[in-house]
Structure formats: structure tokens, C-alpha cells
A and B are shown apart, each in its own frame.
Chain A
Amino acid sequence: MQRLKSLLIWFWRIASRPSAHLSLGFLALGGFVCGVLFWGAFNTALEVTNTEKFCTSCHEMRNNVFQELQHTPHFTNRSGVRASCPDCHVPHNWTDKIARKMQASKEVWGKIFGTIDTRQKFQDHRLELAKHEWARLKANDSLECRNCHSSVAMDFTKQTRRAADIHGKFLVTGDKTCIDCHKGIAHELPDMTGIEPGWRTPPEMRDRQSFRDNPRDELARYLAATGAER
């Protein structure tokens, strides 16, 4: 500890004094060039982690989610536009991207300790993992979907009547966001028992059917109301 302190003091003495041998121009320009090099390297490394090749270099991704992606329209479709992993799972905006990358350091932990290193383990964690992504897309109003699909650019007359109706009712009004209904479009779904379809009104906003969510409370209230008179 004492040694560390003395080291810090030594560094501060050097850093706080004006340079005796090197010119100001050298230091400024050198600093600038080093900054450019550092930033370039940082950004390149960041972009490398943002490729499908990098994502599928882990067998957890390659053998599970990447296989499932390959038979969905986001992989092959009539117009030949392909969405790869980062298109949907990493925000394009810089600050959001850095925030997501920092979150993703948890995934390094999972990789090291083999949290999902078998198919069975992956299936066991699937609901939790899916819920994270649903929550993320819900919170940013399906930003990654909207990087390509915009409700303004949608021609409802080209959709089937059912799709146009539903989009008009939920998407245009802003009631719901893409991920509410379009879950599991690029991967297999987890066990969906008890997860209601996204177009449904949340339980707390329902009036008629709310009794179904806590039938015991309803019954208790009824008994309290009638039992009091007895």
C-alpha cells in the first residue's frame, strides 16, 4: 500500500510539472495522433464484436439461436435483405450501443462459467433470456425493429386485411409496440405457459375479466359482502 502510494506520488510529480525536454508541439501532436490511433483501434474492436461471425464464434450462439434463425424470414426472404444478430440485438445509437456492450460483459461471465453450455441448460434459461430481450425491446419501443420497419412507411393496403386491421388498431395508435405481438419471430419461443398474447390489455387495465386473475380475492370479497349480513 505504501509502495503504491509512493508510486502515485512519483507519477503525479512528473505529470504535474511542465516538460523540460519535449516541445509543446510534439506533445500536442503526439497526443492527437495517439488519440486517433487509440480511438480507431477501439472502434474497430467494437465493430468486430458487432458481427454475426463474432456472435456465432461461441457454440452457445451457433448451435442454438443461430440455427433457429436460419429458417425464419429474417434470414432468407423474397427481397434478400438479411438481418444478422447485431441488427436486432445491439442498438445502433452510440451511447445505447456502449450501454448494451457494458451489459453484455455479463455474457462473458456466463461464457466462462458455462451457464448455457449445453442445449438443456440453454432451454432451462430460455424463458429468462427471452424475457430480458422482450423487456429491452419494450422499453425502447422496439427500436431495433424500427431501424428497418417503420409504421409510417408501411403500406397497409399491401397487407392482408387482418394484419392491416391489427396494425391500425395497436401499432398506429401507439398502444403496443412490435415486440408485444411479434415474439419468437427469429428464434424458437420459450415455454409460453402463462404468457398472454401481446395484443391483450394488461390485467390491471381490464375490467370485465379481471376476476380471473385473482379469483380467490374476488370470492373473499363476495363472501365478506354477503357474510356480513348473516
Chain B
Amino acid sequence: MRGQDHFGLMRFRSSIAGALLGGMLVFVGGAIYAQNAPQIVPRVTGAAAPMGDVPAPPVARPIVDDKRLMRNYPEQPPIIPHSIENYQLTLKANRCLDCHRRQFTEGSGAPMISVTHFMDRNGQVLADVTPRRYFCTACHVQQTDAQPLVPSTFKDMLLVGPEKK
């Protein structure tokens, strides 16, 4: 009885030891893997130690070639093909509209803000740009020669999906 009891306890003990050993193996193995595993998500913060000092990359130059680019999808707000550095865009002054406002486009040669910019939220067309479309840079952005931090996998809608026969 005693021997049996002893034997039973021994088995229990060895199973605990086995579980502990297994757990240790998984933990150590996991730690080693985590150290050496390939990083799946590229780091976008730039710094390995986020609070540390890192040298800043040079400021990207704006693209100023004045060339109208194709939109990647129909609803895309057209990008700004010129520099807008120091353009004042406040409640009081809007430098963009000095050229892109309807009545100024004849003299400036700039594209007119589209008709959607005259519509209020009920689709009513107003005489001038609506307040909700006043701040141009909310949608339209200047382009620079900076390289994207993460490669884009965007595909034109016309190029995906089943082939047409």
C-alpha cells in the first residue's frame, strides 16, 4: 500500500515536472523565436527606441511641375501640383481661392473648384464656395519627393476583378 501510494505520488510528481519542463521549453523557445523572428509589420515610427533621439531625414521637396495627374479613383480629390508653402489659409484669407475661385480662373488659368464645392449639404448650389469646402488642404494635398514609408498595394479598380470577355 505504501509502495503503491509512493508510486502514485511519484507519477504525479513526474507529470508536474514534465508540465513545468514543457512550459519552460515553450517559454524559452518562444523568447528565442521572438528575438529572431522576421518582423512582419515594418516599423513606421522610425525609431527603435521611440523616446530616443533620431536624426531627422531631410525635409522632402515639394513637386512643382504643374502637371495634372490622373486620379487613382474617381472620387479622389486632385492633388496640388505646385508648392503651397506659406500660403495663408485661414478664416480671413484663402490664398488658393485667389486663383481657383470661379471668377478668377479666366485670368489665372487655374482649374476652377468643381461644382461640388458650391453645393451645401442638401445639394443646393450656392453662388460661392460653401463653408464646408472652404479649407482646401483638408482634402487636397501637395506632393513631395518623399518615399512612402510603407509600400502601397493599391490597385486601380479597373485592373482587379474577373477579366471581361
Which residues of A approach B to under 8 Å, CB–CB? 72-73, 160-162, 184-185, 188-193, 196-197, 199-201, 209, 212
A212 B103 Cβ-Cβ under 8 A: yes
Q: B92 contacts which chain A residues (CB < 8 A)?
A: 188-193
Q: Residue B5 at the A interface, CB < 8 A? A: no
Interface majority SS (helix, strand, loop, mixed), chain B: loop
Q: Residue B120 at the A interface, CB < 8 A? A: no
Count contacts on B: residues with CB < 8 A to the other chain. Answer: 16
Q: B107 contacts which chain A residues (CB < 8 A)?
A: 199-201
Looking at the assembled complex, report how far the CB atom of B80 sits from the nearest CB atom of chain A, in whole angstroms: 12
B104 A188 Cβ-Cβ under 8 A: no
Q: Which listed residue, A160, A184, A197, touches B88 by the CB 8 Å rule?
A: A184
Looking at the assembled complex, report how far the CB atom of B87 sits from the nearest CB atom of chain A, in whole angstroms: 10
A73 B86 Cβ-Cβ under 8 A: yes
Q: B99 contacts which chain A residues (CB < 8 A)?
A: 197
Interface majority SS (helix, strand, loop, mixed), chain A: loop
B64 A160 Cβ-Cβ under 8 A: yes
Residues 89-114 of B, flagged 1 when their CB comes within 8 A of A and 0 if not, give: 01011100011000110011000000
Q: B64 contacts which chain A residues (CB < 8 A)?
A: 160
Q: B83 contacts which chain A residues (CB < 8 A)?
A: 160
Which residues of B approach A to under 8 Å, CB–CB? 64, 66, 82-83, 86, 88, 90, 92-94, 98-99, 103-104, 107-108
Q: Which residue of B lies closest to A197 (CB)?
A: B98
Q: B104 contacts which chain A residues (CB < 8 A)?
A: 196-197, 200
Q: Which listed residue, A189, A196, A200, touches B90 by the CB 8 Å rule?
A: A189
Looking at the assembled complex, report how far the CB atom of B66 sits from the nearest CB atom of chain A, in whole angstroms: 6
Q: B88 contacts which chain A residues (CB < 8 A)?
A: 184, 188-189
Q: B103 contacts which chain A residues (CB < 8 A)?
A: 209, 212
Q: A200 contacts which chain B residues (CB < 8 A)?
A: 104, 107
**Bound CA–CA A199/B109 (angstroms):** 12
Complex A-B: 7 CB contacts under 8 Å: A160-B66, A184-B88, A189-B90, A189-B93, A191-B93, A199-B108, A200-B104
